[in-house]
Chains A and B, each alone.
Chain A
C-alpha cells in the first residue's frame, strides 16, 4: 500500500473516531442537563412538602404533640445541609406518616377553615416527591452507565462534572392522605 493512501486511511479513521466521541460527549451533556432539571424538580417538590407541613404544624389545627413533631421535622428538612438532607427529608416522611396515620385526622384537618386546600396541597406534594425522585434517579442511572464506559473514562468526556449520585430516601406518602381509591368517585 502506498504511503499517501495509508495516511489518508488513518486520517479518515481518526476523523470517524472524533465524530463518534463528539457525539458521545453530546449525549453525556444532554444527560447532565436532564439530571440538573430533575434535581431541580425534586427540590421544588420537597420544599413544597416541607412548607405545607410547617404551615399545618403552626396552624393550630393539629394537637400540640403532633404540631411539635411535624414542625420539628419540617424545619429540619428545610434547614438541612446537602449531606444531611436525605436523612432529614426521610424523617419528615416518617413524621407525616405518624401524624396522618389515622384517616380521621385527615378528615379533621379537612374540616378546619382552609383545611381542604392545605390537605390537597400536602397530598399533591407527598405524591409528587416519589415521582420526581424516580425520574431523577432514572436520569442518574443513565448517566452513570454511560460515564463508566471506557471511551468516556479514557477520553475524559465528562470533563469536571461530579459523578452523579442517586437520591436515596424514604418518600412513602401517608396512605390516608393519598389513597383515593375508596373515597374518590
Chain B
C-alpha cells in the first residue's frame, strides 16, 4: 500500500505526535508498505529518506504551549506537489483540527483520508470559534481515529460525528529489554519531561520530595529532560538538593534504561495530556507508575488498576503515596506485573494492525488520493497572502 502521512509539527523538535508519526512510518515500512511522510523542517535539516520537508515552520502559541507549524502560500504549494507526486492509496493526517500542515493537506487532497486526533481539549475560544470554518475541510476525512476515549469525547463534543479509538503505539520489547543501570537503582524515583514546562508538573514533585524524604530518607529523585535545574531546584535545602540528580536530555536508549532502573515512575502532570505515552513506556520497562489523576492517565492505567494515581497538583497526596509505594515491595511487584500485562495492547504489533485495518476499510473500492482541483482553483485565485516563508 502507498501511504502518505502528514506530521503537523516540526520534525526536528521532539514531541509526542512526531514520535508517533516516526514510529508508525517505520512500523509500516517494516511491514512492506511504501510510506512518505510530509513534515515541517528547515531545508538544511537532515531527514530520514522517507521524510519530505515542507519548509520552515513558524513558532506560534497553540494549545497552551508554543508549537512550530506551517501555513501560508508556499507551504500549501508544497503540500499540493507532494500529494500529486505521491499517488497515495491513503493519506493519513495528524491533528487536522490544528491550524497546520495537516489541515492544508486535507484541503488540497481528495480520496481516502484518515485523520488521527491527538488533542485532549481545545484550550482557546478561537479554536472553538474556528470549528465551523474547519468543517468543510474536515468533511473530507473518511475515517477518524482518536488516541484515547478522552480525546474521542473532546472530538465528539466539539466537532460532532464519531471516531474509533486506537491508542498510540509503543515498542514494548525495546523498553522491556533495556539494561538497568546500577547508578540509577536503589530507592529511586524517576521523572522524564521538560523541566521548564509547568504542565509537566515537576514543581509539584519538587514540593512533595522533601516530605517523601522525611519518610524514606534514602530516596533519590532522577530527573531527565530539557531545562535549567537551577531554576527549579535552586531554592531547595542542600540536604534535599543532594538527593536530586538532573540528567539533562537523555537518548532513547538511556530513557529506556532509566525506566528499567527506577523503583517508581512519577507523572505529576497538571493537565493538557490526551494520552500519556510515557506511562506506557514506563510500564513496558516494568516500572511501577504513580500518576496524577488526569482522565487520560487514569484511562491509560486501565482505570487506575495498572498503576496508582494521586489527586492532581496535591503535593501532600503525592508524597504520601510515593513514600507508601517505596516502602511496600509487594505492592510495587504487583503493579509491575499488572503493568507489563496491560501494555501489550499498546504494542506496535497490535496498534499497527488496527491502523492498517482502518486504511483497508477506507480504501476498499475507493480511488486513490488525488489533488483536489477545486481547492487548487480557489487557492490560485484567492490564495492566502499571509506567507511567512523567509
Where the two chains meet, the residues of A that have a C-beta atom closer than 8 Å to any C-beta of B are: 23, 26-27, 30-31, 34, 37-38, 40-41, 44-45, 124, 127-128, 130-132, 134-135, 137-139, 141-142, 145-146, 180-182, 184-185
Contacts and interface: CB of A to CB of B under 8 A. Distances in A.
Contact of B361 (A30, A132, A146, A184): A132
Contact of A40 (B110, B139, B365): B365
Given A37-B366, A134-B163, A135-B142, A182 B357 contact: no
B112 to A, nearest CB: 8
Given A45-B361, A127-B357, A37 B142 contact: yes
Contacts of A127: 354, 357
A131 B358 contact: yes
Contacts of A138: 143-144, 161-163
Nearest to B358: A131
Interface string B356-390: 01101110111000000010000000000000000
Contacts of A44: 364-365
23 contacts: A27-B136, A30-B140, A34-B142, A37-B365, A37-B366, A38-B362, A40-B364, A41-B364, A41-B365, A128-B357, A128-B360, A128-B361, A131-B358, A134-B162, A134-B163, A134-B164, A135-B361, A135-B362, A137-B161, A138-B143, A142-B161, A182-B344, A184-B349
A185 B172 contact: yes
B350 interface: yes
A30 B160 CA distance: 18
Contact of A181 (B163, B172, B342, B354): B342
Interface of B: 110, 135-136, 139-140, 142-144, 160-164, 172, 341-342, 344-345, 347, 349-350, 354, 357-358, 360-362, 364-366, 374
A96 B139 CA distance: 34
B139 A142 contact: yes
A123 B86 CA distance: 33
A145 B341 CA distance: 43
A132 B164 CA distance: 9
Contacts of A130: 164
A36 to B, nearest CB: 9
A72 to B, nearest CB: 28
Closest 5 CB pairs of A and B: A185-B344, A138-B161, A181-B345, A135-B143, A138-B162
Contact of B142 (A38, A137, A141): A38
A72 B362 CA distance: 30
Contacts of A34: 139-140, 142
Contacts of B143: 131, 135, 138
Nearest to B145: A131
B30 to A, nearest CB: 17
Nearest to A130: B164
B382 to A, nearest CB: 11
Nearest to B143: A135
Given A30-B110, A40-B364, A41-B364, A181 B358 contact: no
